[in-house]
């Protein structure tokens, strides 16, 4: 009988990697070629140097206007799009049977909205934690209440 291949996506807004579990007692192994990093430059390099200004309707007073969105957020959304597309491609080649997504709440929300139906149908659990800096050998202990590894 073929083992059930469970992939675990561990991601945040700028880093992602996939681990594979082939059943109880086989441990977790990083899937080769799946580590992804996004270089996010400092804020001063992303947006305008000066915020927009508006004049008061009476008098000479001016006020700064906050930008409508944070440039870092739009980069994280693009990263979520990229990850969702990679997952869709892996589903097309039948690379895994089940998927667990581990990401901070914001990134988890971005991913949920972007997953293709065929990928979403393989998701068996979602964990709203940032485990991107946790070594691969310690991941299983963080997921023992979520998935049988």
Looking up residue 103, the CATH number of its domain turns out to be: 3.30.420.60
pTM over 0.85, yes/no: no
In a domain, 47, yes or no: no
In a domain, 53, yes or no: no
pLDDT at residue number 130? 96
In a domain, 55, yes or no: no
Average pLDDT over residues 91-111: 96
DSSP letter for 4, please: P
- Identify which of 19, 9, 18, 7 has the alpha carbon closest to the alpha carbon of residue 110: 9
Q: Is 90 helix (H, G, I), strand (E, B) or coil?
A: helix
Supply the range of the domain harboring residue 116.
1-35+71-149
In a domain, 58, yes or no: no
pLDDT tens across 14-64, in order? 999 999 988 777 788 999 988 888 776 766 666 555 666 666 666 667 666
């Amino acid at each position: 009988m073929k083992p059930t291949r469970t992939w675990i996506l561990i991601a945040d807004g700028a880093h992602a990697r996939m681990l594979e579990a082939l059943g109880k007692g086989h441990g977790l192994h990083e899937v080769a070629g799946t580590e992804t990093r996004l270089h996010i430059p400092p804020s001063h390099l992303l947006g305008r140097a000066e915020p927009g200004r508006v004049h008061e309707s009476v008098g000479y007073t001016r006020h700064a206007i906050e930008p409508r969105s944070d440039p870092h957020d739009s980069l994280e959304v693009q990263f979520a799009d990229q990850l969702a597309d990679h997952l869709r491609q892996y589903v097309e080649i039948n690379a895994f049977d089940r998927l667990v997504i581990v990401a901070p709440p914001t990134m988890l929300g971005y991913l949920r909205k972007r997953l293709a139906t065929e990928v979403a149908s393989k998701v068996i659990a979602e964990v709203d934690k940032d485990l991107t800096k946790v070594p691969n050998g310690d991941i299983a202990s963080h997921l023992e209440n979520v998935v049988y590894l």
